[in-house]
Amino acid sequence: MKAARLYEVGDLRIENVPEPSIGRDEVLVRTATAFVCGTDVRMYKNGKAGIHPDNPRVLGHELAGTIEQVGSEVQGYSVGMRVAVAPNYGCGVCDRCVAGNTQLCSRQKAIGIAVDGAFAEYVRIPAPAVRQGNIYILPETISFHSAALVEPFSCVYNAYERIGIYPGERVLIIGAGPIGVMHAKLADLAGAGSIYMNDLSEGRLNLAKGIVPAIEALHTEDLKAEIDGLTGGDGVDLVITAASVAAIQEIAFSLAGMNGRVMFFGGLPKSNSHVWLDTNEIHYKQLIVSGTTMQSLHQYREILRLMERGVLTADDIVTGTVGVEDTESVIEQITDGSGLKTAIAFE
């Protein structure tokens, strides 16, 4: 089968590799759609422990497809089912796993990172992931594109659950990439009064506004002055940083109003994660500051439920479709910040 395998920094090869074989407690999925995410780009650019020329890895953890084969000991799934697959799984027995946070397990692994992923015609779903309920059977109404975007979308939902968005609130989202658009969709659904979005790229802002008309695009170099003007100096109720840029975190507190909240959604590069913050802003404005990472399986399924009920879609975030042989060009596209999500499609 055709697959995109990472050998080391900057060395991603499109190769013919053997189809994965599964154990009695595993499931084989024929990939329909997979997406490249910031994590893949970071692995491509910075490398990843455990991935080297003697142990290359098929990337791809945002995926949906059709069940091709089911191990003899697996129950509840059958060949031909359309499914979405959550990538993160834990040991299954520690306190965090038992509490439903398998993604926070100290032995957490992910499909497409620790084991081969979905930039390939077939992907093996490991036994712990099958057991923990990572495979979700899709209703016909959810497309493979939307289903494959449930992974990043539920990361966004994790942030929403943690910090909340309440009716009428003024929300500022910094970053008009696909993640920013997902935050805007949830803010819209939650009844935000204003959804401000800032980005240096006017093209991306226009794309975002085309998808969520409630967005008020702020294409400005002086975001503080702009927000002060829009809010009469009050600041916004919630600031979400949806870009991995230290300078954005540095100004975030100043944009939040009294009793405001700040969500650091995008992480920073490990080598550059020390940021100059004015903590007096937290103190005197009583700010609540949080970050979130990944998603629980419950949050993953919540996004699927919203899609199933027809109140949420991710199809409009897909701005292109290519074959797996073009994976590297998608990585470049993400680096350039052009378009939103390009699907890697297999059928």
Minimal distance, residue 61 CB to Zn ion, in Å: 6
Minimal distance, residue 40 CB to Zn ion, in Å: 7
> Residue 127, Cα to own-chain centre: how many angstroms?
23
Of the pair 179, 256, the CB lying nearest Zn ion is at: 179
Minimal distance, residue 137 CB to Zn ion, in Å: 22
Of the pair 241, 256, the CB lying nearest Zn ion is at: 241
For 292-317, give the DSSP string: --S--HHHHHHHHHHHHTTS---GGG
Q: H or E segment at 154?
A: helix 150-163
Of the pair 56, 152, the CB lying nearest Zn ion is at: 152
Could you tell me the two tokens for 58?
Answer: 């098929």
Could you tell me the two tokens for 75?
Answer: 């129950």
Could you tell me the two tokens for 136?
Answer: 């979700």
CB 211 within 8 A of CB 181: yes
Minimal distance, residue 305 CB to Zn ion, in Å: 20
- Cα–Cα distance for residue pair 34/118, rounded to 1 Å: 6
Name residues contacting Zn ion, limited to 300-319 (CB under 5 A). Answer: none
Of the pair 90, 266, the CB lying nearest Zn ion is at: 90
Query: By CB under 5 A, how many residues form the interface with Zn ion?
Result: 6
Name residues contacting Zn ion, limited to 27-86 (CB under 5 A). Answer: 37
Minimal distance, residue 87 CB to Zn ion, in Å: 8
Name residues contacting Zn ion, limited to 84-113 (CB under 5 A). Answer: 90-91, 94, 97, 105
Minimal distance, residue 155 CB to Zn ion, in Å: 7
CB 3 within 8 A of CB 14: yes
Phi, psi of 248 (to 5 degrees): -70, -40
Of the pair 94, 282, the CB lying nearest Zn ion is at: 94
165 binds Zn ion (CB under 5 A): no
- Cα–Cα distance for residue pair 299/248, rounded to 1 Å: 27
Q: Which residues bind Zn ion (CB under 5 A)?
A: 37, 90-91, 94, 97, 105
